Structure 1
Amino acid sequence: MVLSFCDKLILAPMVRVGTLPMRLLALDYGADIVYCEELVDIKMLQCRRVVNEVLQTVDYIAPTERVIFQTCDKEKDRLVFQLGTADPERALAVAKFIENDVAAIDVNMGCPKEYSTKILKTLVNGTSKPVTCKIRILPTLEDTISLVRIIERTGVAAIAVHGRKKEERPQHPVHCDFIKAISEAVSIPVIANGGSQELIREYTDIEAFRSITATSSVMVARAAMWNPSIFRKDGFLPLEDVMRDYIKHAVRYNNHYTNTKYCLCQMMRDQLESPLGRKLHATQSTLDICDVFEMTSFYESCQLSQEARKGFLNINETIEAENDNTENYDTVQLPVKFEKKDYLPQVTPKMFLLEWCRKEKLPQPVYYTVQRSLDKFFHSVVTVDEKKFCSTLWDKSKKLAEQAAAIVCLRTLGLPEGKLGEKESDLVRKRKRGIQDESVKMTDSQGADQFKKRLHHSENVDNL
């Protein structure tokens, strides 16, 4: 589905603010499209793309191991990647690198240069995703209109206009007349930007700003940074509730605590000297931040969930690796637990399996067992005749996990496993007969010693 830029509420690209937690929060509250912070082409091209299966994200990781850009499926169809670039070839290389993880690509043309339109043409012709750009207005309306018409001819899907000139700062009035003239001069969607603080203070002001500028959509920056719930039709939420919602996303996606702290401080810009503000300022970790907002239990719950997922992924990787070593035979899996009370006291499933392998002149079973860090439970995979067998369940001990794996193998092969009510097998009869035969010899002291040794061995074997 191609992303439309008509009739949209948009989170603007903001340095340090437009990271994954803020983007997801804006979408939660009603934003239609979110832009990431501007990322420079050279930095992106040094990254490697990693699918983070624990967090269920796609991470672009720098050589320093720092996550430069992170995204997830929740925003994939509504995320615009803003690119900082001065080179068409580098710009296209980044676009090709990230296009499968985003909905559109934006070029930051805050101070337009001659090469900027060449970059736009290269991207429009070279990538499968819509291309947009973001500009500031030029010193005169005539020059600005001329520029946007040139931009339109490059084939971009939309243009965002910050209604201030290069030298103007947020305290300067936004030039709504320029934005309106631009919107009337081109046929592509125009996105109005720059109304925060002066014109946009609450949700209803967003539509008013759109009306004044006659634009297709509105892009909100500082007003959303201060309180992302500005995107809610029902009005603002209490700031502390918003901050807690933000922290939840930050914890779930392992956002670096310095970035989390920075964004929270922006929300509390007028309250940094309050008791809560001073506590936030003193934090040195994500856990510290959660302590301040009484969210320690949430933090611990997320950590446990991530550890559980790591354990699950580790065992799957183990199974896959083991399968690779045995010519990719499939692993047979059944939901099995070994309950000692359900089995004969003389023998165990592991013993049945070992005896069968000896009878068939096969190598003895090999067990590969791992322990997950979350709850210290165990999972075992047994290899028999170059085939893998395991239970889908985890057990509280290595011994129980291995017995469960043996049961899966025996049941798959249609072999007895020593369960109560099963027809008495040769192995059971042999064990009984062996003990009875030895007991007859106890009149001989040497025979008694040998029997004790065999009995001790029998007890040890029962532990299999």
Structure 2
Amino acid sequence: MIGTTRRFNARTNTIDWTRKPSQGSKAPPGGDVKDSIIYRIHPEKEAGKLIFQIGTSNPDLAVQAARLVAADVAGIDVNAGCPKPFSTHDGMGAALLKTPDKLCAILEALVANITPEFEIGISVKIRILETAELTEALVRRLVATGITGLTVHCRTTPMRPRERAIRGQLRMIANICHEAGVACVMNGDVESRDSALPLMEEFGVDGAMIATQAEKNSSCFQSESDGGLLPWTEITKQYIRYALQVENKFGNTKFMLTQIIPGKAPVYREISACKSYTRVCEMLGYDDLMETAREVDLSLDIDPDNAGKNKNNNKVNATALAAGGQMGKSRIATSSTKKNLSGRAVQIPAEAQAPEATAAPA
């Protein structure tokens, strides 16, 4: 984030933090290298809801980065739980659990410099340690830094998602947090709102974080009484609508589609091979989104007509039908005129919007 420039994007109604690519990007003939979008938020949809989590191993740099976004978010969270090498090799993420002095210094710096100026809370996400005694000692130090929230992933650093979460230390952690006036959120093997609420009551925590399941199906935040989990076909189309509305980077959108669409679905392999929004909408039979998809592809400098089209259109349509797509001939716009997306007919009716992706409240 450090070194980015904040600007309002009138085309997508988003706030973008951008900077020039550091390497590997070539300018088009007679043009300049396009700025890379490092971070983007949608103020209308995310105001008052979005917590910005940073990976950091330096108090001064943490403050510098947080200051860039603090006015636009509802809080700053420090990631002290990610076990991936790209994070831990530089002393960030779960590596901070082994350097509690540094972690506390980062939190204290953020509390001292960000909270008074921007009036937002600072929080931290950790993992449990090898013993309850070690976890207790760490949590007591963390809640004394002035943070307002602590999320605990109920796994140790070496544990992988396939291993069941360990909740034996959770009530102890919650009690320490509450003694200090700090909110405590649990994480690990929480798959829906209806599964979260009884766990919150059982362990005395203030909230539950849903992670993996939220990538697969964002309606997991909706209770059974409100309709429960929606079909992946419905979630897929809503997600693509949102992605088109904000001109989301196609590579990111395709990754998310491979999380949402079940691997055994006939269309999964076809989507994995797609190289444009136009092709995705064609494969899924979203005729009503084809014109918008083509416009977004052109805006993102993606060639919608050179996307490895399947020569067998019957096979394409059959696959789309198996995926829950709509049959029909593709209608592709011939105009490359760029418009504000509010005029691209990609708005989602209120009754069809996906549930908000938030932690289950106390």
Displacement of 1:179 in angstroms is 1.6
Query: Which stretch shifts more, 136-145 or 202-211?
Result: 202-211
1:180 to 149, 167, 171: 171
* Displacement over 6 Å in runs of 4+: 302-307
Instruction: Give distance in 1, aligned partners of 2:200 and 2:134.
Output: 23
Displacement of 1:58 in angstroms is 0.6
Instruction: Give distance in 1, aligned partners of 2:75 and 2:254.
Output: 29
Q: How does 1:12-161 map to 2 (within 5 A)?
A: 44-64=1-21, 65-73=35-43, 74-110=45-81, 111=94, 112=97, 113=99, 114-127=101-114, 128=118, 129-161=120-152
Instruction: Give distance in 2, aligned partners of 1:155 and 1:299.
Output: 50
Displacement of 1:124 in angstroms is 0.5
Distance 1:224 1:156, change over 3 A: same
The structure having more radius of gyration, on CA atoms, is 1
Name the structure 2 match of 1:189: 183
**AA paired with 1:264?**
L
Name the structure 1 match of 2:213: 223
Instruction: Give distance in 1, aligned partners of 2:256 and 2:337.
Output: 32
Relative to the length of structure 2, the TM-score reads: 0.68
Q: How does 1:270-309 map to 2 (within 5 A)?
A: 270-271=263-264, 274-301=265-292
The structure carrying a bigger helix percent of its residues is 1
**Cα deviation digits, residues 27-71 of structure 1 (max 9, x gap):** xxxxxxxxxxxxxxxxx1032212101111011113122211100
Instruction: Give distance in 1, aligned partners of 2:287 and 2:18.
Output: 28
Relative to the length of structure 1, the TM-score reads: 0.54
Name the structure 2 match of 1:422: none
Contact map agreement 1:195 1:209 (CA 8 A) in 2: no
**AA paired with 2:185?**
I
- Name the SS for the 1:139 alignment partner: coil
Distance 1:125 1:303, change over 3 A: farther
Instruction: Give distance in 2, aligned partners of 1:262 and 1:236.
Output: 21
1:268 aligns with 2:238: no
Distance 1:240 1:86, change over 3 A: same
- Name the SS for the 2:150 alignment partner: strand
1:239 aligns with 2:239: no
Displacement of 1:305 in angstroms is 10
Name the structure 1 match of 2:342: none
1:259 aligns with 2:259: no
Instruction: Give distance in 1, aligned partners of 2:266 and 2:162.
Output: 29
**Cα deviation digits, residues 220-249 of structure 1 (max 9, x gap):** 001111111111122011111001111111
Distance 1:257 1:250, change over 3 A: same
Contact map agreement 1:206 1:218 (CA 8 A) in 2: yes
Displacement of 1:186 in angstroms is 2.1
Contact map agreement 2:277 2:297 (CA 8 A) in 1: no
1:214 aligns with 2:204: yes
Instruction: Give distance in 2, aligned partners of 1:245 and 1:283.
Output: 18
Query: Which stretch shifts more, 177-186 or 202-211?
Result: 202-211
Long gaps (5+) in structure 1? 1-43, 308-371, 376-464
Contact map agreement 1:160 1:193 (CA 8 A) in 2: yes
Name the structure 2 match of 1:428: none
Displacement of 1:292 in angstroms is 1.8
Instruction: Give distance in 1, aligned partners of 2:42 and 2:156.
Output: 35
Identity of aligned residues (%): 28
**Cα deviation digits, residues 154-209 of structure 1 (max 9, x gap):** 1101000000111111122211121221001222110000124xxx3x43112122
Instruction: Give distance in 1, aligned partners of 2:238 and 2:205.
Output: 31
Q: Pairwise CA RMSD of aligned residues?
A: 2.2
Instruction: Give distance in 1, aligned partners of 2:184 and 2:163.
Output: 22
Aligned length: 262
Instruction: Give distance in 2, aligned partners of 1:305 and 1:264.
Output: 17
- Name the SS for the 2:173 alignment partner: helix
Instruction: Give distance in 1, aligned partners of 2:146 and 2:51.
Output: 17
Distance 1:265 1:301, change over 3 A: closer
The structure carrying a bigger strand percent of its residues is 1
Contact map agreement 1:163 1:192 (CA 8 A) in 2: yes
Contact map agreement 2:277 2:293 (CA 8 A) in 1: no
Instruction: Give distance in 1, aligned partners of 2:69 and 2:177.
Output: 29
